[in-house]
Amino acid sequence: MAGPPYSLRAESTPYREKSQLGGENAGRKRGRAAAGRQPGARAGEPAAGRLYSEDVRSRHYGAGAADVAVAFVNLLGTAAWFSLLVALDPNRRVKKTARVLLECYLLGMSFLPLLGLLHWVVSLPLLPAYRAGATDSILFWLYEELSTGPVEELAKFLVFYVITRSLRSIKEPLDGVLQAAAVALAFASVENLLYGSRFGSVALVLRRSVITTTGHLSYAAIWGMFTACLRFGILKVEARAGWKVLAWAVLGAAVLHSSFNLLLTVGLWPFALALDAVCLLTAILFQRFLARQPLYGAEPVAQPEKTLQLLHHSWREGSDTPAVHFRLGLAYLSLGDTGSALRHLARCRFLRPGHAQVDALIGCARILAGRVDQGEELLAQAYARLDPRARWYLQRTVGRLLDRRQPGPGDPERAHRFHLRHFFLHARPRT
């Protein structure tokens, strides 16, 4: 059975040259030999130089028009996938998901140098076979096919990990899957554009935007979900074991990626599409599972009751996650329950020691609880470590907390609030 054009495959190694005629794969050795043959030297067999040549594209569009059409369709497909990723986040307005995913997408383009380096390292064992001309052996073919998935998934994961660590952009578990998919979308859009430019086919870009982009995003959802589960304590393992979990997640995505490539190469494209559908279904299940573990469904200062209900309902009992304890602490402070607020903020401080924002809120809670001297000392130390933006956020948050509930005449809390306002009044001015 003849398979679909090679260009449907989710890989982009430069030394693979395939014929799109009839969907059959051109032999690599024959393709390289054809590279030096003049176009038309043998009827019915396109030369490598003619396979992606301008006169093939210009039959319907003209070289320039074909490139513009391909780029435009690829842009539309990328925009559609990007809009879908943004829409999958129910708290997108609060977290500014569109801006964060756009940053992940644009920074995800930095995978290109890393991908080229990894492909070069992986191709080193193939050099003797290239020099000896033994490029038609089954071992050479299998190695060439199966090395693509690990290389590309590792490159995407490393870029994703560096981006999310640098931006600190994962605010709740669902972000892990969505931001991993945004990085994978950057890879897929570049790959689709390259293939579309080579073949000059708008229909090809449309097929790839539906099929191979689905695969790329689904594979990324695997290691994106495990990254989020480790970061938020949903998956409880030791720190060293966490790297093993991520390594297995990347390996699993790489196996699925290579299997998809292999099935398309041998012509079993119905099985490849079925594998793509299973991966998509798995990614949807990941998204639904993580969406049930929200942190941003309610604002803890303005909606403390809803925040407590949401977090206690969504997160299982005993979940030790710094972000959960932080937001619970804010909610209890807003309700005036300084004892519960201090308990959650202290647990957050234990799980994430040295965090200046947490220390500052603990200082504020101590002042409101009547431990003025201890609170002011800790607050002054933490405030000095905050950058100007964090100081503005702290003053704004504390101001909203104090304005939300006013104590009655004779309430001792009035004096405690006065001490807290006095501190920020004489603190370093806002910038």
Greater confidence, 35 or 376? 376
Asked if 7 and 195 count as a contact pair (C-beta separation under 8 A), the reply is yes
As to burial, measured by CB atoms within 10 angstroms (0-12 exposed, 13-18 middle, 19+ buried), residue 416 is buried
Most confident of 37-41, 289-293, 323-327, 362-366: 362-366
The whole-number average pLDDT for the span 325-353 is 90
The whole-number average pLDDT for the span 250-274 is 89
* Mean pLDDT over the full length of the chain: 79
Residues above pLDDT 70, as percent of the chain: 77
Q: How far, CA to CA in Å, does 89 sit from each of 127, 216, 277?
A: 46, 19, 22
The whole-number average pLDDT for the span 141-159 is 84
The whole-number average pLDDT for the span 182-186 is 95
Greater confidence, 23 or 163? 163
pLDDT attached to residue 130 = 65
Whether the model pTM is above 0.75: no
Greater confidence, 139 or 254? 254
Greater confidence, 198 or 80? 80
Say whether pLDDT at 157 is over 80: yes
Using one digit for the tens of pLDDT, what is the confidence trace for 366-377? Answer: 998 888 888 989
Using one digit for the tens of pLDDT, what is the confidence trace for 300-333? Answer: 888 888 888 878 766 654 466 788 889 889 999 9
pLDDT attached to residue 428 = 56
Say whether pLDDT at 92 is over 70: yes
Q: Domain 304-425 classified CATH 1.25.40? A: yes
Helix H, strand E, coil C: the string for the chain is CCCCCHHHCCCCCCCCCCCCHHHCCCCHHHHHHHCCCCCCCCCCCCCHHHHCCHHHHCCCCCHHHHHHHHHHHHHHHHHHHHHHHHHCCCCHHHHCHHHHHHHHHHHHCCHHHHHHHHHHHHHHHHHHHHHHCCCCCHHHHHHHHHCHHHHHHHHHHHHHHHHHHHHCCCCCHHHHHHHHHHHHHHHHHHHHHHHHHHHCCHHHHHHHHHCHHHHHHHHHHHHHHHHHHHHCCCCCCCHHHHHHHHHHHHHHHHHHHHHHHHHHHCCCHHHHHHHHHHHHHHHHHHHHHHHCCCCCCCCCCCCHHHHHHHHHHHCCCCCCCHHHHHHHHHHHHHHCCHHHHHHHHHHHHHHCCCCHHHHHHHHHHHHHCCCHHHHHHHHHHHHHHCCHHHHHHHHHHHHHHHHHCCCCCCCCHHHHHHHHHHHHHCCCCCC
The whole-number average pLDDT for the span 280-304 is 84
Q: Which amino acid is at 409?
A: P
Here the tokens at position 163 are 């981006």
Greater confidence, 22 or 232? 232
Residues above pLDDT 90, as percent of the chain: 33
pLDDT attached to residue 307 = 84
pLDDT tier at 28, thresholds 50, 70, 90: very low
pLDDT tier at 63, thresholds 50, 70, 90: low
Say whether pLDDT at 131 is over 80: no
Kindly report, as residue ranges, where domains of CATH 1.25.40 are found in the chain.
304-425
Say whether pLDDT at 201 is over 80: yes
pLDDT attached to residue 159 = 92
